[in-house]
Amino acid sequence: MKEATRTKRSRSVELSSFSALLPLALIVPFSVIAMWIIWLVADVLLSATIGSFQFWILPAVWTVLALTLFSRRVQLHVLGPLLRARRPNAIEFDAIATPWENVTTAAGANPQDFVLLIIDADELNAYACGGHLVVTTSFAVRELPSDELAGVLAHELSHHLGLHTVSLTLIHWYSLPILLLARLGFALKNVAHAATEAFVSHSSALTALGRIFAGLLTGFSWALLAVLYASDGVSNLVGHRSEFEADRRTVQLGFGRELAAALTHLISRGGGHRSIGWRQRLAASHPPARTRIARIDAILRHPAGVPKRPTAS
């Protein structure tokens, strides 16, 4: 039996990849401001010991570290543990190896360029991360038929081929200084509140001053979190387009029906429902499963534009 012929399908920038730059553009300025505040504190604390350093060094180092996130080794040994994801065990590897080989063959992709990881969870889910990680739950590997699992893997690989994960990875990375500063603000608020109650409760003026200071810290921290929530909301709205584009590419790879079957499986378990209200829509990272199935079916009804999947001969 000859090896299946690979159809060359290199990574390409899709429209949603450009759209994802919007939430990134929203988060980066606030991230730099957060770094500046952190730098001010660090410069005061460290200047007496190791000396001061210029501010530009901090965002420059942060950007260089961001670039290392796209290294396959870093994603495997750093992002994987952070996600609490692991390599497949022997049973899981037997279940996932053939579907993954079929998918990468259809895509003309080198399986060694990607890392399959498993998250222990009793839910049907999978996602692409960074530029190399394809993560799925232990439940999905255990419960999905081989063809449906192939559809799910083809969808996640399509995210990588469309470069959908690049902006998302950078958004999460540049969100960290903001999140750190917000948590520091809440911690200082608690300290200020405790100090006010313990040491100056006898003075109404000092008590009021302490409460004002704690209130300012609270407002500052919530303002930072509001930036993160706004960025997440925009990212989710943009992410819906990337999901549809990944679905279309999955159909082009020849796994559209398999993906639709997996989405039907998701619906049968009570997932993939339609969001109600604007708050739920902003919080939803994926469009409704029924909408995705309908779009997949619409593409499949025009088979002339969908290439056939390579088969072994």
- Give the tens place of pLDDT for each residue, 243-285: 889 999 999 999 999 999 999 988 988 876 665 554 555 555 6
133-137 and 126-129 as β-strands: parallel, antiparallel, unpaired? Answer: antiparallel
Write out the residue range of the structural domain in which residue 116 sits.
15-305
Per the structure, how many domains does the chain have?
1
In a domain, 161, yes or no: yes
Q: How many helices (H) and strands (E) does the chain have?
A: 13, 3
Secondary structure (3-state) at 86: strand
In a domain, 310, yes or no: no
Q: Residue 295: name the closest of 250, 235, 253 by CA.
A: 250
- Contact (CB, 8 A) for 93 and 103: no
User: For 186-227, what is each residue's pLDDT tens digit?
Assistant: 877 777 777 767 666 666 776 677 777 777 778 878 888 888
115-119 and 133-137 as β-strands: parallel, antiparallel, unpaired? Answer: parallel
What b/e string do you get for 34-68 counting C-beta neighbours within 10 Å, with b at 16 or more?
Answer: bbeebbeeeeeeeeeeeeeeebeebbeebeeeeee
The Cβ of residue 18 has, within 10 Å, a number of other Cβ atoms equal to 12
Indicate the burial class of 141 (C-beta count within 10 angstroms; 0-12, 13-18, 19 or more).
buried
Tens digit of pLDDT at every position of the chain (313 positions): 333 344 445 565 555 566 667 788 888 999 999 999 888 888 777 766 666 778 888 899 999 998 888 888 888 888 888 888 999 999 999 999 999 999 999 999 888 889 999 999 998 889 888 888 999 999 999 999 999 999 999 999 999 988 888 888 888 899 999 988 888 888 777 777 777 676 666 667 766 777 777 777 788 788 888 888 787 777 777 777 888 899 999 999 999 999 999 999 889 888 766 655 545 555 556 788 899 999 999 999 876 555 555 544 4
In a domain, 1, yes or no: no
In a domain, 2, yes or no: no
d(CA 247, CA 32): 35
d(CA 31, CA 172): 11
In a domain, 7, yes or no: no
DSSP string, 113-151: GSEEEEE--SS--EEEETTTEEEEEHHHHHHS-HHHHHH
Secondary structure (3-state) at 34: helix
d(CA 257, CA 125): 18
In a domain, 56, yes or no: yes
The Cβ of residue 169 has, within 10 Å, a number of other Cβ atoms equal to 20
In a domain, 6, yes or no: no
Q: What is the DSSP letter of 2?
A: P
What angle, rounded to 10 degrees, do the helices at 204-253 and 256-268 form? Answer: 140
- Contact (CB, 8 A) for 2 and 149: no
In a domain, 179, yes or no: yes
